[in-house]
Amino acid sequence: MHTSTPDSPLRRRDFIKSTAGLAAVTAVAGSVPRHLSAAERRRAIGANDRIRIGIIGCGNRGRTAHMEGIQKHVAETNFEVIAVCDPWRIHREQAAAMAKEWYGREPKQFVSYRDLLAMDEVDAVMISSPDHLHTLHLEAAARARKHIYVEKPLATEMAALVRAVDAVKKAGTIVQVGTQLRSFPGIVGAREFLQTGAIGKITRIEEVRNSQRPYWYQYLGRDVKQEDVDWKEFLGDRPMRPFNPSQYEAWYGYWEFSQGPVAQWGAHFIDTMNYVMGSTFPESCMSMGGTTYWKDEHKFTAPDTVIATWMYPEGFMVTSSNAFGNSSGNTRKFFGDKGVLKLDNWNAPAYSADGGPKRDGTIRGETVVTPIERPDHFLNWLQCMRSGETPHASIDAGFQHGVAVLMATLSYQSGRKTIYDPKQRAIRTV
């Protein structure tokens, strides 16, 4: 079933054998891996060597975001996409055609990520598979000693998140998590502004993102045929069931594949908030919601109305809420006792003295923060593979937003408050 190189069965057996052995080493969730020194990191790719990239997940994100996103930097960073992988033949062939047009030769095509990772020629991979597969593919790529760009949210289960992070730390390869707002000039400027203390002590941070309908509906109607899909490869560790085109096309709308908008959209906000505030892990979380409006033949299980609230040890509260029955009221605000910072526009955050009980006249009117330029998220990853430096959204940053998201999803499922123990790297309900 898999398209393979002549020696890929042997490579695949060796790959499976090596990952099984390493699993025993990384099984203890309570052992916190140390940071590797520069000397211990995998050797950076030489300045004159071409970076050879494989794409795991060739959907809209893989092709129009990842492939097109790096392609604009090809002249200055010297790379080539040499392999693509996807369970759906249509997307796989579309990605291969793009690579052939850009680089002048056919990339290898695979159904399974295992075969792509078995290619010694591949230096780095970009992971844009469905959310429930992120940690599976991340862990496997780290064990294969590949450099990695991986989409958010980083995980749908805590144990898998810990294993994947441990594998990355052991490998020492360059990992960029796809929370790209850290690379936006406006967000970098907002971080610098906030750290001046101009809006005073911050006690509350909120995000409200609404829409007239859930975003997963836009993916329906793509005429996915069972004979073109490796259904088992898509399901991964999820229970086998008859092929369901709606679940494949619009997996965002099913809890077991995406865990809904707090995990999807909230991951961006939590990571951005951590970056701007300099925070890491929340202490506790409460979340509730449900499918309240969009009930139809597709039987979507991701909530169309949901709210999550986290408390951070620094003494501030963070809320992320979504409702898909009305698009009014979108906002992102940092509330301080001298004013407010608004991130309603990611590219042009603004601040004012509105509402601050200790406002002192220093801030007048609403002012857009001064942007601070730096390489975009894709270019930063490509550059770090040459320099060996840590990317903007490191694996540690991904772990932090991953924990916060999982605290919310566990609270939503259980109806109880969740607590995070950073020493044990464990979430529990109370």
Domains of the chain (ranges plus CATH)? 8-24+44-181+380-394 (3.40.50.720), 183-375+405-429 (3.30.360.10)
Chain-centroid distance, C-alpha 137: 12
User: Taken in order 383, 387, 392, 393, is the CA torsion positive or negative?
Assistant: positive
For the chain, what is the HEC assignment?
Answer: CCCCCCCHHHHHHHHHHHHHHHHHHCCCCCCCCCCCCHHHCCCCCCCCCCEEEEEECCCHHHHHHHHHHHHCCHHHHCEEEEEEECCEHHHHHHHHHHHHHHHCCCCEEECCHHHHHCCCCCCEEEECCCHHHHHHHHHHHHHCCCEEEECCCCCCCHHHHHHHHHHHHHHCCCEEECCHHHHCHHHHHHHHHHCCCCCCCEEEEEEEEECCCCHHHHHCCCCCCHHHECHHHHHCCCCCCCCCHHHHHCHHHCHHHHCHHHHHCHHHHHHHHHHHHCCCCCCEEEEEEECCCCCCCCCCCCCCEEEEEEECCCCCEEEEEEECCCCCCCEEEEEECCCEEECCCCCCCEEECCCCCCCCCCCCCCEECCCCCCCCHHHHHHHHHHHCCCCCCCHHHHHHHHHHHHHHHHHHHHCCCEEEECCCCEEEEC
State pTM to two decimals.
0.89
- How many residues belong to the chain? 430
Residues 6+ apart with CB under 8 A from 103: 80, 81, 82
Closest listed residue to residue 387, CA positions, set 396, 395, 379: 379
Q: What is the pLDDT of residue 45?
A: 85
- Please report the pLDDT score of residue 20 as a whole number: 37
pLDDT of residue 3: 37
Among 319, 315, 259, 307, residue whose Cα is nearest residue 283: 315
Q: Which residues of the chain have pLDDT under 50?
A: 1-41, 43
